[in-house]
Amino acid sequence: MNLAKPRFRIVALAFVAGVLASVAFAHEFWVQPDAFRPAVGAATGVRLFIGDGLPGEHRPRDARKLERLDIVGPEAGARQVPIDGKDGADPVGTITPTKPGVYAVVYRGKESTISLAAEEFEEYVRGEGLTDVIKKRAELNESKAAGGEAYSRCAKSLLCAGGESHGAWDVKTGLAVEIVPQSNPYAAHAGDTIAFLLLRDGKPVADAQLMALTRDSGKTIRTIARTDASGKASFTLQQSGLWVINTVRMDRVDPKAGRTDVDWVSIWSSLSFDLARAE
């Protein structure tokens, strides 16, 4: 298949697995290739992961939930190529990079609904930094009410073929909520600082929570930052290996839309990549 670090307002806090994962719904979701650094011409599986922290569990391909799964190659202006696969298969597809460089695997899921008891919902949105949702529920006297939500997921994963770091590391793929690194993760090493741009429908999102996850000594480590006025936030990534950056955006259902099954609509988004050891 052919395929000057800016300044930021940062609020950082570390968590071990379980602190924010006490709510059953508070799952991370990400795309992960079997090999983040495959050789050119080497086939590698693509998997969908979900879990309360890392390493998570992979899920099979489900046509009922899949809206989009494709790959963008390292060439300038490369088009998005669908990743084929059989329904129920795990991995959900296989890719074979034919040129060296960074590829982006892109996932978009269809909407599902859920209802959580008031305490669970409030804890969940608080953990995701959605203070505007908590405030709005209080204004509407809904703080003690169950939370009905329609949610969907976006995910992007970057892999580096043939040891070449040029390519689609900063590609914007049109996901409804998308996280875009502002410097190349495959030109970075453990201990480096990387900034990330958060986009909603292609526009920067200010004052939103991003969370960076990695694994150290058998535990998931979570670090939080909030985006600045330009939609960017940065993390110093201390560990080598898998990193997942994620966020949740949530909006109140427009009363004019005539929708009565839920009160809130959310989009979860993540970015995964592999970070090299410090030189």
Q: What is the mean pLDDT of the chain?
A: 90
pLDDT at position 245 over 70: yes
pLDDT at position 7 over 90: no
Which of the four pLDDT bands, split at 50, 70 and 90, describes residue 184?
Answer: very high
Q: How distant is the alpha carbon of residue 130 from its chain centre?
A: 16
Cα separation, 218 vs 98, whole angstroms: 35
- The number of beta carbons lying within 10 Å of the beta carbon of residue 68 is 16
- The interaxial angle of helices 118-127 and 131-139, nearest 10 deg, is 140
Q: What is residue 21's predicted lDDT score, i.e. its pLDDT? A: 34
Q: What is the pLDDT of residues 190-217, one digit of tens each?
A: 999 999 999 999 999 999 999 999 999 9
The domain ranges of the chain are: 14-274
Q: Is residue 242 a contact partner of residue 31, using CB atoms and an 8 Å limit?
A: no
pLDDT at position 27 over 80: no
Higher pLDDT, 27 or 122: 122
Cα separation, 97 vs 131, whole angstroms: 42
pLDDT at position 23 over 50: no
Q: Is residue 47 a contact partner of residue 34, using CB atoms and an 8 Å limit?
A: yes
Q: Cα-Cα-Cα-Cα dihedral of 237, 242, 243, 246, to 10°?
A: -170
In the predicted model, what is the mean pLDDT of residues 153-164?
97
Percent of the chain having pLDDT more than 90? Answer: 86
Enclosing H/E stretch for 121:
helix 118-127
Q: Given phi > 0 = left and psi -120 to 50 = alpha, else beta, which region is 226?
A: beta
* DSSP assignment of 162-225: TT---BGGG-----SEEEEESS-GGG-BTT-EEEEEEEETTEE--S-EEEEEEEETTEEEEEEE
Q: What is the pTM of this model?
A: 0.89
Which of the four pLDDT bands, split at 50, 70 and 90, describes residue 24?
Answer: very low
Q: What is the pLDDT of residues 66-122, one digit of tens each?
A: 999 999 999 988 999 999 999 999 999 999 999 999 999 999 999 999 999 999 999
Tell whether omega for the bond before 185 is within 30 degrees of 0, i.e. cis: no
In the predicted model, what is the mean pLDDT of residues 55-72?
96
In the predicted model, what is the mean pLDDT of residues 250-269?
91
pLDDT at position 225 over 90: yes
Q: Is residue 198 a contact partner of residue 177, using CB atoms and an 8 Å limit?
A: yes
The residues, ordered by sequence, that sit 6+ positions from 52 with a Cβ below 8 Å of its Cβ are 17, 18, 21, 26, 27, 28
Cα separation, 112 vs 114, whole angstroms: 7
